[in-house]
Structure 1
């Protein structure tokens, strides 16, 4: 890992921990909910976490695509070779429900591909981080949001996806978005004589389940945005798990003109 890469992943880890601490302060108090034009919920946690993450990432000089930032015109963005892709609170619905299944997502994208990813789960103080180019992804279970980087690294355990064929096949489903197409995908597997177990999770934790070997496949046949998936794709790609667009049959790409993702499938090569 070169020095610049190491510095950027360290910055992303520190940013996610500080954002997670602020999110939990709000989680443990009264949650005020607004609604955006697209009817998606927005809380003070989204705004506060976004401000904190921006304060860490702006000094890198690398431009930022964040769900909570005003989006830059594509005529400018298309000139960016590298950018951050951020979701300050992924799973705002899970946050409002107080079920703990929400995350902080920070990814670094170069030439449309995620190269670094950090996912922090503040409700349980668990952090996932990955460097795609060195094929390394890790998980660390922390005692506090206020830990030094050295402690995060000392607690980190390398992620290992499942090997070989599973029976039953564990399919990741969404807590909030189980589409008919996903149900059809499950029925297809069953028609091939496979037993299927549905594993439900909210937010980008669905990617983590596959990357750490607690599920086999994650079909997402419902809308997502780039900030929902970039960090999770980095973590999966680092351990040899593909995130394949159902439109192109190739890896999902980032910093597109339209930041809406096509449907995709997360599974082993």
Structure 2
């Protein structure tokens, strides 16, 4: 089991890798004529920003000697990773579609997994300069004004010095239910699910949002509920699930109300739904 000393040692690499990747992404984002967009085997897009962010994270976390399972390394065979006790689970650019659209809703997700359980996590939102951090049984926090920096070297003391515990007390007690859905990935099942919720909550507000930033808004308490009935992968959820859980929320699979499992032979998640701490559903 990871002890507090090891956690303090690994938090700066986790944090700094995300900030550096965010800098690489923003450099590409400002040059929209050079995204170099192509399609992966599953017909989802990949850009130059995905590739440079992956390279940045891989190089920065390399000295930890902890293996990396990344969206951009998804071809790794199950037999190669099935017995890993400790690994980084990474989505170097979550929300590639939002990145291409230019709506600023994209993130860097990095989770530290021990025996396929997330023990530490960050989600960095480089455009908004917001970093969300969580450690298992240690709480979830928001650190603002974290500018993208290709040479980021935050110390442990600098990271924890002025962060804000989650959820935000100011977001307690909404007068109507706020439900998040993916901005770019909705299906008839999504719409049917929302319709059932609206029947019980006529004043329900639907919030369309891209990337794992939805988990962050749930952790803050700005959103109450999130339903996902389209395909996601393990790297899309691991960091966000821990940040939300440590902020008092929950993530459960649909329709069986189970838990998300990690380092499976098939890296695709089942459908799931999430509740914030303040959710009244």
- Fold match by TM threshold 0.5: yes
Give the SS at the match of 1:57. helix
2: CA distance, partners of 1:4 / 1:55? 20
Paired position in structure 2 for 1:258: 266
Task: Give the aligned partner of residue 28 of structure 1.
Answer: 30
Partner of 1:68: 72
For residues 164 and 20 of structure 1, do their structure 2 counterparts lie closer, same or farther at Cα, with a shift above 3 Å needed? closer
Task: Please state if 1:98 is matched with 2:121.
Answer: no
TM superposition shift of 1:82: 2.2
| Shift in Å, 1:190 | 2.0
| Count of residues in correspondence between the two structures | 268
The match for 1:231 among 233, 239, 245 is: 239
SS at structure 2 position matched to 1:240 = coil
From the superposition, tell whether residues 124 and 96 of structure 1 become closer, same or farther in structure 2 (CA, over 3 Å): same
Structure 1 residues 258 and 155: alpha-carbon distance in aligned structure 2, compared to 1, 3 A threshold: same
Q: What are the ranges of 5 or more consecutive residues in structure 2 without an aligned counterpart?
A: none
Equivalent of residue 157 in structure 1, options 153, 160, 164: 164
Distance (Å, rounded) in 2 between the aligned partners of 1:161 and 1:80: 36
Q: C-alpha distance in 2, partners of 1:109/1:28?
A: 33
Q: Does 1:137 align with 2:144?
A: no
Structure 2 counterpart SS, 1:155: coil
Larger mean CA deviation between 259-268 and 67-76 belongs to: 67-76
- Tell me the alpha carbon deviations over residues 21-68 of structure 1, each in whole angstroms, 9 at most, x when there is no partner: 111111111322111122211111111110110112222222211001
Is the counterpart of residue 12 in structure 1 residue 14 in structure 2?
A: yes
2:183 alignment counterpart: 175
TM-score using structure 1 length: 0.93
Which residue of structure 2 lines up, in the alignment, with residue 40 of structure 1?
A: 44
- Give the structure-2-normalised TM-score: 0.89
Asked if the contact 1:161–1:239 (Cα under 8 Å) also holds between the matched residues in 2, the reply is: no
Aligned to 2:251: 243
Q: Is the Cα contact below 8 Å between 1:245 and 1:263 reproduced in 2?
A: yes
Q: 1:41 to 1:218 in 2, by over 3 A?
A: same
- 1:164 is displaced (CA, Å) by 7.3
Q: Contact 2:172/2:221 (CA < 8 Å) preserved in 1?
A: no
Unaligned residue ranges in structure 1 (runs of 5+): none
- Give the secondary-structure state (helix, strand or coil) at the position aligned to 1:79: coil
Match in the other structure for 1:186: 194
Indicate which of 101, 105, 125 corresponds to 1:121.
Answer: 125
